[in-house]
């Protein structure tokens, strides 16, 4: 009986009416732009698996951060690729480490850019695992003090937010207490709370040279079929003091984003990861899709599912499309 009285098409008739009833809007402040930093000066290395993304030395990272800030992007997330790796990831903790230097360079050049740093060992260990090993097993409790020290070191360099992506149990509270003890109680933690053992990280591992040299990450990252476990991970991170929680990857996990959204009032971030990015870029290059529209549709979908913040390699192109 409702037809023909009810005609939803009336509100789709003009672009202006569609705008009036639009439920989800993307804005530049939604985006966090991830960047890969390397030691040196004047260095820019294209990442083959991620068209349009380069590894940059701190000076060039600062220049790119400045351009991004000018376009309206409020935050960057830094991943470091050091010159040397060892079993315990010592290069992660150095005062003049690659991320520490990049944080200082960015803060010097664009003081109002929010600088977020990745906290994890995988870019710094020669075996590529996210923590230190005891008899070939990633040792949770031995890794915690290293993560805490890395976070304090990044805060000292000027990081506003630290983002642990290692998936060790108890890392949020270890980092929180170490940062508080060091006088950084004002710096926030964005926890990769529900981070899945995903094949979508493939291009990142080339970019960060961080593929595990043996085995995989299933012993610490989450099993993709699980969602109740994700809620438990989020709950634990909140108890431990996380300020922002995260779901990662985004596209195959929109239901997880939705459920996390409904269980917490904390800001929720979603990571639109490297594999999600590269699939779009490669399909665009091949002329299979209208790349610009697909980018906006994906980012809108992630926001509609419930994410407040979207970490995305598309950030710079996306702000130009809004």
Ranges of H-type helices in the chain = 15-20, 58-70, 98-109, 140-157, 171-181, 202-208, 228-240, 254-263, 274-285, 291-305, 315-321
Given a contact cutoff of 8 angstroms between Cβ atoms, the answer to whether 82 and 98 are in contact is yes
Least distance to ligand PBG, CB of residue 12, Å? 35
Q: How far is the CB of 274 from ligand PBG (least distance, A)?
A: 3
Q: Which is nearer to ligand PBG, 118 or 233 (CB)?
A: 118
CB of 117 to ligand PBG, least distance (A): 11
**3-class SS letters over 191-255:** EEEEEECCHHHHHHHHHHCCCCCCCCCCCCCECCCCCHHHHHHHHHHHHHCCCEEEEECCHHHHH
Q: Which residues bind ligand PBG (CB under 6 A)?
A: 118, 120, 122, 165, 201, 204-205, 217, 273-274
Q: Which is nearer to ligand PBG, 122 or 247 (CB)?
A: 122
Taking the least distance from each CB to ligand PBG, the nearer of 40 and 212 is: 212
State the greatest distance between any 2 C-alpha atoms of the chain, in Å, as a whole number: 72
CB of 277 to ligand PBG, least distance (A): 7
Report the phi/psi class of residue 136: left, alpha or beta, with left for phi > 0 and alpha for psi in -120 to 50: left
Nearer to ligand PBG, 259 or 272 (CB): 272
- In whole angstroms, the minimum distance from the beta carbon of 1 to ligand PBG comes to 50
Q: Which is nearer to ligand PBG, 197 or 236 (CB)?
A: 197
* Closer residue to ligand PBG (CB): 71 or 206: 206
Query: Which helix (DSSP H) or strand (DSSP E) does residue 117 occupy?
Result: strand 114-119
User: How many whole angstroms from its chain centre is CA 63?
Assistant: 20
Identify the H or E element spanning 37: strand 31-37
Minimum CB separation of residue 16 from ligand PBG in Å reads: 37
List, by residue number, the catalytic residues. 195, 248
Query: CA–CA separation, 57 vs 281, rounded Å?
Result: 24
DSSP output for 163-177: EE-S--TTHHHHHHH
Beta strand pairing status for 133-134 and 114-119? unpaired
Would you give the DSSP letter of residue 90? G
């Amino acid at each position: 009986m409702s037809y023909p009285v009810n005609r939803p098409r009336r509100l789709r008739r003009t672009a202006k009416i569609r705008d009036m009833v639009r439920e989800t809007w993307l804005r530049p402040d939604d985006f966090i732009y991830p960047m890969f930093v390397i030691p040196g000066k004047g260095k820019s290395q294209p990442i083959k698996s991620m068209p349009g993304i380069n590894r940059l030395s701190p000076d060039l990272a600062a220049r790119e951060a400045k351009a991004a800030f000018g376009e309206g992007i409020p935050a960057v997330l830094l991943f470091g690729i050091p010159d040397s790796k060892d079993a315990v990831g010592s290069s992660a903790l150095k005062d003049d480490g690659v991320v520490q230097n990049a944080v200082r360079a960015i803060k010097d050049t664009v003081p109002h850019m929010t600088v977020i740093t990745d906290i994890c060992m995988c870019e710094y260990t020669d075996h590529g695992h996210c923590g230190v090993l005891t008899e070939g097993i990633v040792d949770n409790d031995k890794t915690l003090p290293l993560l805490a020290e890395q976070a304090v070191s990044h805060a000292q360099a000027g990081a506003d937010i630290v983002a642990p992506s290692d998936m060790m149990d108890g890392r949020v509270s270890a980092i929180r207490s170490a940062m508080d003890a060091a006088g950084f109680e004002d710096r926030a933690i964005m926890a990769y709370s529900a981070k899945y053992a995903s094949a979508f990280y493939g291009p990142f591992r080339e970019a960060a040279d961080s593929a595990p040299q043996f085995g995989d990450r299933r012993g610490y990252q989450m099993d993709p079929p699980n969602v109740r476990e994700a809620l438990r991970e989020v709950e634990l991170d909140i108890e431990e003091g996380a300020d922002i929680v995260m779901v990662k990857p985004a596209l195959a996990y929109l239901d997880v984003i939705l459920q996390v959204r409904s269980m917490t009032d904390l800001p929720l971030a979603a990571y639109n990861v490297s594999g999600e990015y590269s699939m779009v870029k490669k399909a665009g290059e091949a002329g299979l899709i209208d790349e610009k529209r697909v980018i906006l549709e994906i980012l809108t979908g992630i926001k509609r599912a419930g994410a407040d913040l979207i970490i995305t390699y598309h950030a710079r192109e996306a702000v130009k499309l809004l």
